[in-house]
Amino acid sequence: MSNDYKLFIDILKSAAKLLDLHPESQLHQDIITISNYLTNPNFRIAVFGPFNHGKSTLLNAILGTRALPIDLIPTTGPAITMKYGTDLRSRITLVNGTEIYRSGTEVLKQFAILDNDRRMRNDVAYVEVFCPHPFLDTGVEFLDLPGTNDTEEQDNLVRSQLLGADLVVQLLDARKLMTLGERENLRDWLLDRNIKTVIFVVNFLNLLDEGEQKEVQNRLRFVAESFRADLLSGFSNLYRVDALPALRARLKGDVAAANTSGLVAFEIALQNIVAILQKNHRSVRLPRIKFITSEVQHSLKAKIVTLQSEINDFENKCQEKNNLKQRAVSIIKQGFNNSFEKLHAWLSLANLREKYQADAAIALAENLFISWEINNIKKDFNELRSSLVEWLEKAYNFFQEQQPENLLISFPPQPQITIPPKPNHTNDLGDPGTIAVGGSIGWLLGGPLGAAVVGSITYLVNKNIQQDEKITRESYHQQVAKICIDAVDVYLSSFSIQGLSALANYEKQTEQVIRFTPESEPQEVTQKRQKLQDWQNSLNQLNRELEKTLGISIPRELEVEIKIPTAKARQSVYSFSGVGIKEDVGTHRQTQTRKQENTTQQTKTKNSSASVPPPPKPEDLEAKFRAWELDQEIAQMKAEMRSPNSQTSKQHQNQSQQAPHQSKTQAEKDKITRAYTSLGLQPSASLVEKKQAYKTLVKKWHPDLFVDKPQLQQQAQDKMRLINEAYKILLEISN
Q: How far apart are CA 657 and CA 682, in angstroms?
A: 18
pLDDT at residue 719, as a whole number: 84
pLDDT at residue 566, as a whole number: 53
Angle at 70 between CA 68 and CA 75, to 5 degrees: 95
Task: Identify the CA nearest to 358 among candidates 554, 492, 526.
Answer: 492
pLDDT, greater one: 179 or 469? 179
The answer to whether residue 567 scores a pLDDT higher than 60 is no
Burial string for 641-671 (b: 16+ CB within 10 Å, else e) reads eeeeebeeeeeeeeeeeeeeeeeeeeeeeee
pLDDT confidence band for 223 (50 / 70 / 90): confident
**What is the residue-wise DSSP string for 693-727?**
HHHHHHHHH-GGGGTT-HHHHHHHHHHHHHHHHHH
Q: How far apart are CA 528 and CA 526, in angstroms?
A: 5
Cβ neighbours of 352 (radius 10 Å): 22
The answer to whether residue 697 scores a pLDDT higher than 90 is no
pLDDT at residue 226, as a whole number: 65
CA distances from 169 to 58, 209, 267 (A): 11, 25, 12
Collapsed DSSP state (helix, strand, coil) of residue 83: strand
Collapsed DSSP state (helix, strand, coil) of residue 574: helix
Task: Identify the CA nearest to 464 among candidates 447, 446, 485.
Answer: 485
How much is the mean pLDDT over the chain?
78
3-state secondary structure 198-223: EEEEEECHHHCCHHHHHHHHHHHHHH
pLDDT at residue 512, as a whole number: 82
The residues with which 240 forms a beta bridge, in sequence order, are: 202
pLDDT at residue 310, as a whole number: 92
Residues 231-260: tens digit of each pLDDT:
777 788 889 999 999 999 999 999 999 999
pLDDT at residue 77, as a whole number: 60
Residues 50-97: tens digit of each pLDDT:
888 888 899 999 999 888 876 544 455 678 999 999 999 999 999 899
**Dihedral sign, Cα of residue 649, residue 628, residue 501, residue 345:** positive
Average pLDDT over residues 591-607: 43
The answer to whether residue 296 scores a pLDDT higher than 70 is yes
Average pLDDT over residues 686-690: 81
Q: In what order do the strands lie in the sheet with 140-144?
A: 99-103, 89-94, 124-131, 80-84, 140-144, 43-48, 167-173, 198-203, 238-240
pLDDT at residue 693, as a whole number: 87
pLDDT confidence band for 14 (50 / 70 / 90): very high
pLDDT confidence band for 213 (50 / 70 / 90): confident
Share of the chain above pLDDT 90, in %: 28
Min mean pLDDT across 510-514, 532-536, 634-638 is at 634-638
Collapsed DSSP state (helix, strand, coil) of residue 76: strand
pLDDT, greater one: 561 or 484? 484
Angle at 179 between CA 178 and CA 185, to 5 degrees: 85
The answer to whether residue 633 scores a pLDDT higher than 70 is no
pLDDT at residue 252, as a whole number: 93
pLDDT, greater one: 63 or 464? 63
- The upper half-sphere exposure of residue 9, i.e. CA atoms within 13 Å in the direction of its Cβ, equals 16
Collapsed DSSP state (helix, strand, coil) of residue 27: helix
pLDDT confidence band for 348 (50 / 70 / 90): very high
Give the β-pairing of 198-203 and 89-94: unpaired
Q: What are phi and psi of 551, to 5 degrees?
A: 70, 30
Residues 705-725: tens digit of each pLDDT:
777 777 777 878 888 888 888
pLDDT at residue 606, as a whole number: 38
The answer to whether residue 500 scores a pLDDT higher than 60 is yes
pLDDT at residue 457, as a whole number: 60
Residues 397-433: tens digit of each pLDDT:
888 888 888 888 999 999 988 877 766 654 444 333 3
The answer to whether residue 187 scores a pLDDT higher than 80 is no
pLDDT, greater one: 194 or 603? 194
Average pLDDT over residues 15-19: 91
The answer to whether residue 280 scores a pLDDT higher than 60 is yes
pLDDT confidence band for 284 (50 / 70 / 90): confident
CB 48 within 8 A of CB 171: yes
Task: Identify the CA nearest to 137 among candidates 178, 83, 181, 212.
Answer: 83
Could you list the beta-strand ranges (E) of 330-379.
Answer: none
pLDDT, greater one: 444 or 279? 279
Average pLDDT over residues 338-346: 93
Cβ neighbours of 202 (radius 10 Å): 25
Which range has the top average pLDDT, 331-345, 413-427, 545-559?
Answer: 331-345
Task: Identify the CA nearest to 493 among candidates 367, 347, 341.
Answer: 347
pLDDT at residue 441, as a whole number: 33
pLDDT at residue 352, as a whole number: 94
Average pLDDT over residues 501-530: 85
The answer to whether residue 374 scores a pLDDT higher than 90 is yes
Q: How far apart are CA 264 and CA 449, in angstroms?
A: 149
CA distances from 715 to 174, 622, 701, 712, 728 (A): 107, 21, 9, 5, 20
Average pLDDT over residues 600-623: 46
pLDDT confidence band for 47 (50 / 70 / 90): very high
Q: How far apart are CA 331 and CA 321, in angstroms?
A: 15
Q: How many residues does the chain have?
A: 735
